[in-house]
Amino acid sequence: SLQIVWDTLGNKQFCSYKIRTKTQSFCRNEYNLTGLCNRSSCPLANSQYATVREEKGRCYLYMKTIERAPFPRRLWERVLLSKNYEKALEEIDENLIYWPRFIRHKCKQRFTKITQYLIRIRKLTLKRQRKIVPLSRKIERREKRREEKALIAAQLDNAIEKELLERLKQDTYGDIYNFPIHAFDKALQQQDAESESESDMEKEDDDEDKDEREFVEADDSDLSDFEDMDKLETSSEEEQEDEEEIEKKASHSKSKGKTPLKGPTRRKRPHIEIEYEEEREPTTKTKVS
């Protein structure tokens, strides 16, 4: 009759535990010893069968004999195996004495595999575990929205600018920026313009070489001050105009993406009419009388 069972389930008709793939078929039955769908491994088609299963870290040996076939409740007999590997193997042996070699062998193999993976589990739990924290969608949405609103309310650029200006007023920068205090130069807008250019100048050059100014027509003084621009003579003025252009270009190249602050705003100074013939080439600085 078992042969009939196997003929029906295994080969020809439907078995609900069977999974077929292209090359092989597997058996999903939990009491199956090897996991494959074979005549010798099918727990339904063998009246004398044994498996090893583990539950909560302990291994049990399950046995089924033909005497208990009519009592499905008592069909599977369960034996707890010891935690000691060798002892457990001996226990399997003595429980399955006189049983077919195949089943004994496969049981021991399965038991070995199970103990190996149990060891691995124990080792892994000692290492760092990744903690999975569930995200609540409602909370996430709420936080995101609140963050956006907070960003708008923060007005970061304004706040930063205000803070920087405060620090400038408090003189934390010391002598680097030489803006005159606006308490006594409201009327002197040109001074403002000059200090603008002068502060730019100061930022351009790392060292302050304000001491010596050379008003020599033939010479090239790169870093000269514009403080007494109005008092200068035309010739040296014109040279400095040259340099001013150069500085402008240099500063332009330094800060590319910024709002243009150099070009048009520089024209606040009194515009001096000078005629000069050469181009704005840094290399061609010639004397003009």
Partner 1 sequence: AGGGAGQGAGQDAGPAAPERVLFPPTFSVSEIKNKQRRHFMFLRWKQQQRKEKLALRKKRRKEREALGDKAPPKAIPKTIENQRIYDETTVDPNDEEVAFDIATDEFAPYFNRQTVPKILITTSDRPRGRTVRFCEQLSTVIPNSHVYYRRGLALKRIIPQCIARDFTDLIVINEDRKIPNGLVLSHLPDGPTAHFRMSSVRLRKEIKRKGKEPTEHVPEVILNNFTTRLGHSIGRMFASLFPHDPQFIGRQVATFHNQRDYIFFRFHRYIFKSEKKVGIQELGPRFTLKLRSLQKGTFDSKFGEYEWIHKRREMDTSRRKFHL
**Among the listed residues 66, 261, 272, 274, the single contact to partner 1 using CB under 8 A:** 261
- H/E stretch holding 153 reads helix 137-154
Q: How far is the CB of 181 from partner 1 (least distance, A)?
A: 8
Q: Which is nearer to partner 1, 196 or 241 (CB)?
A: 196
User: DSSP label at 59?
Assistant: E
Q: Which is nearer to partner 1, 147 or 214 (CB)?
A: 147
Q: Is 134 exposed, middle or buried (0-12, 13-18, 19+ CB in 10 A)?
A: exposed
Q: Which of residues 151-180 bind partner 1 (CB under 8 A)?
A: 151, 153-154, 156-157, 159-161, 163-165, 167-168, 173-174, 176-177, 179-180
Sorted by sequence, the CB contacts under 8 Å of residue 171 that are 6+ apart come out as none
259 binds partner 1 (CB under 8 A): yes
40, 105 contact by CB (below 8 A): no
188 binds partner 1 (CB under 8 A): no
**Among the listed residues 20, 73, 256, 267, the single contact to partner 1 using CB under 8 A:** 256
Give, in order, the Cα–Cα distances in Å from 121 to each of 114, 126, 155, 186.
11, 9, 53, 79
Q: How far is the CB of 176 from partner 1 (least distance, A)?
A: 6
Q: How far is the CB of 166 from partner 1 (least distance, A)?
A: 10
Cα 84 from Cα 90, distance rounded (Å): 10
54, 118 contact by CB (below 8 A): yes
Binding interface with partner 1 (CB under 8 A) = 128, 130, 139, 143-144, 146-147, 149-151, 153-154, 156-157, 159-161, 163-165, 167-168, 173-174, 176-177, 179-182, 192, 195-196, 199, 203, 206, 255-259, 261, 265
